[in-house]
């Protein structure tokens, strides 16, 4: 819970602080997108290898390594002298966060062999992220307004130390053979990085030669990744995982939910401060109702899964997030603050229902020896969704903010509805 808390704070809290970062360093919108996206990009790109690392060295050891590096990188972010140095430190942060997530889920799989108990453990784990989503914007806004945006990163240090201390009480983790897949990892990083660069820079500069080169690198690397993984004896992403609907559905649904949620948080954080003229703290408070609902329904989701099955819970969650995106289409500068905050609540409610159900379905569908790899696959998809949505939404609002925000929300809603229809078709009723 503590580990998931600190890595989630660095999404929700930092987004609120981005305008202050831009004012201090004179950064463009593209520069601010990179501060947000380098974290989620490395988070996504390295997650698969991190899952194999967790299986190979043991979840407890991998978790300790990731937590230590993440805490140190957070301090480096806090003292960064330039926008470039901050972005570089965010790369290290994202790399460490990639290790934390699959290792923490593997620890839960290890601690709770019983399916029902494990579902409750996962609900508590997701509650850590939900609390971070609630606390992140408020703390980020408060610290940025009363002190400096750098305090948002200093906040990670005490939480990281507390998590390291609690790790001492965890039982040693078994190790499973999981060779490092260097070709697969390199092609995965190049594919995601090339695609993200092309979307961000293409949205601001147009189809320049550099952008087209990035597109070519992304396509070639993506094809190379598929070929490498299909031919390797021990791939970091076994293709046979995708033959299981209990794996494929959570992976696709996780991408859609994160694309809508984190892309929406990014755009709304800028909207509140740059378009409505609110302070960072006031902008953070706008997320409190949504985050409070997220925390409550994260814990209630496993009960709904037990009663109605994962398909119904995931579909309702996806459609509710889509409803929230639709409600936000009517929001503009003159919309009352209370109505804007109320329109955001379906994002939290739907995501809180869907994510624990997806995670439980995934872990129930794989053997314990593959728990780290499966968890890494799900969270790779989730973080890739967040990274690409920030890139796409940022490109859309760069031209005209109001129009771009509505286009972003409509795009997210369409993706969610399509995913809900696919989930209904692929998963059994129970």
Q: 327 and 281, same structural domain?
A: yes
| Inside any domain, residue 174 | no
Q: 250 and 229, same structural domain?
A: no
Q: 227 and 367, same structural domain?
A: no
| Inside any domain, residue 177 | no
| Inside any domain, residue 175 | no
Q: 112 and 134, same structural domain?
A: yes
Q: 164 and 232, same structural domain?
A: no
Using the 3D structure, point to which of 240, 257, 284 is the last residue of a domain: 240
Query: 133: helix, coil or strand?
Result: helix
Structure letter (DSSP) for residue 155: T
Q: What is the pLDDT of residue 328?
A: 92
Q: 289 and 223, same structural domain?
A: no
pLDDT, tens digit, for every residue of 311-329? 888 999 999 999 999 999 9
Whether 2 contacts 162, CB under 8 Å: yes
Q: 92 and 56, same structural domain?
A: yes
Using the 3D structure, point to which of 204, 220, 240 is the last residue of a domain: 240
| Inside any domain, residue 87 | yes
Handedness of CA 369, 372, 375, 376 (dihedral sign): negative
Q: 223 and 123, same structural domain?
A: no
Q: What is the pLDDT of residue 141?
A: 80
d(CA 331, CA 337): 10
Q: 16 and 39, same structural domain?
A: yes
Q: What is the pLDDT of residue 11?
A: 74
Query: 165: helix, coil or strand?
Result: helix
Using the 3D structure, point to which of 240, 259, 274 is the last residue of a domain: 240
- Return all residues near 88 (Cβ < 8 A) that are at least 6 apart: none
Q: What is the pLDDT of residue 43?
A: 78
- Return all residues near 408 (Cβ < 8 A) that are at least 6 apart: 263, 264, 267, 389, 392, 393, 396, 397
d(CA 330, CA 342): 12
Q: 273 and 225, same structural domain?
A: no
List C-alpha distances in Å: 169 to 61, 90, 208, 290. Answer: 13, 29, 54, 34
Q: 39 and 188, same structural domain?
A: no
**Residue stretches of the chain with pLDDT short of 50:** none
d(CA 43, CA 99): 8
Whether 77 contacts 40, CB under 8 Å: no
Read off the CATH number of the domain in which 354 is found. 1.20.1250.20
Alpha helices in 280-370, H assignment, sequence order: 280-285, 288-308, 310-328, 337-364
Cα-to-chain-centroid distance, residue 13: 13
End-to-end CA, the chain: 29
- The tokens describing 195, both together, are 């695609």
| Inside any domain, residue 70 | yes
**Domain that residue 222 falls in:** 182-240
Whether 156 contacts 12, CB under 8 Å: no
d(CA 236, CA 76): 30
Report pTM. 0.76
φ, ψ at 427 (rounded to 5°): -95, 145
| Inside any domain, residue 337 | yes
Would you put residue 26 in left (φ > 0), alpha (ψ -120 to 50) or beta?
left
| Inside any domain, residue 68 | yes
Q: 82 and 212, same structural domain?
A: no
Domain count, the chain: 2
Q: Work out the burial of residue 233: count CB atoms within 10 Å of its CB; fewer than 13 is exposed, 13-18 middle, 19 or more buried.
A: exposed
Whether 124 contacts 5, CB under 8 Å: no
């Amino acid at each position: 819970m503590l580990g998931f808390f600190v890595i989630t704070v660095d999404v929700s809290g930092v987004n609120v602080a981005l305008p202050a970062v831009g004012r201090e360093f004179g950064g463009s919108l593209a520069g601010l997108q990179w501060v947000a996206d380098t974290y989620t990009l490395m988070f996504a790109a390295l997650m698969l290898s991190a899952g194999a690392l967790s299986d190979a060295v043991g979840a407890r050891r991998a978790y300790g390594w990731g937590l230590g590096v993440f805490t140190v990188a957070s301090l480096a972010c806090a003292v960064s002298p330039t926008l470039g140095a901050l972005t570089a430190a965010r790369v290290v942060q994202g790399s460490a966060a990639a290790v934390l997530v699959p290792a923490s889920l593997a620890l839960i799989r290890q601690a709770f062999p019983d399916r029902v108990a494990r579902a409750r453990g996962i609900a508590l784990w997701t509650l850590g992220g939900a609390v971070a989503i609630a606390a992140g914007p408020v703390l980020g806004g408060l610290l940025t307004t009363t002190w400096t945006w750098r305090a948002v990163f200093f906040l990670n240090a005490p939480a990281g130390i507390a998590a390291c201390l609690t790790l001492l009480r965890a039982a040693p983790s078994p190790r499973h053979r999981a060779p490092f897949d260097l070709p697969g990892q390199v092609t995965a990083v190049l594919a995601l990085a090339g695609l993200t660069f092309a979307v961000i820079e293409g949205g601001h500069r147009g189809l320049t030669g550099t952008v087209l080169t990035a597109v070519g690198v992304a396509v070639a690397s993506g094809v190379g990744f598929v070929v490498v993984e299909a031919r390797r004896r021990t791939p970091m992403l076994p293709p046979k995982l995708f033959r299981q609907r209990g794996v494929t559905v959570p992976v696709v649904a996780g991408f859609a939910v994160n694309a809508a949620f984190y892309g929406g948080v990014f755009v709304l954080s800028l909207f509140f401060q740059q378009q409505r003229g609110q302070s960072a703290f006031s902008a953070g408070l706008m997320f409190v109702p949504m985050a409070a609902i997220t925390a409550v329904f994260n814990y209630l989701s496993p009960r709904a899964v037990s009663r109605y099955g994962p398909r119904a819970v995931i579909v309702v969650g996806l459609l509710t997030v889509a409803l929230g995106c639709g409600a936000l289409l009517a929001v503009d500068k003159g919309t009352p603050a209370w109505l804007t905050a109320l329109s955001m609540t379906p994002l939290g409610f739907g995501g809180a229902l869907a994510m624990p159900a997806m995670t439980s379905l995934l872990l129930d569908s794989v053997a314990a020896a593959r728990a780290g790899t499966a968890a890494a696959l799900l969270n790779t998809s989730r973080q890739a969704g967040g990274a690409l949505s920030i890139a796409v939404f940022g490109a859309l609002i760069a031209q005209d903010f109001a129009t771009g925000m509505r286009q972003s929300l409509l795009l997210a809603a369409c993706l969610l509805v399509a995913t809900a229809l696919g989930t209904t078709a692929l998963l059994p009723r129970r």
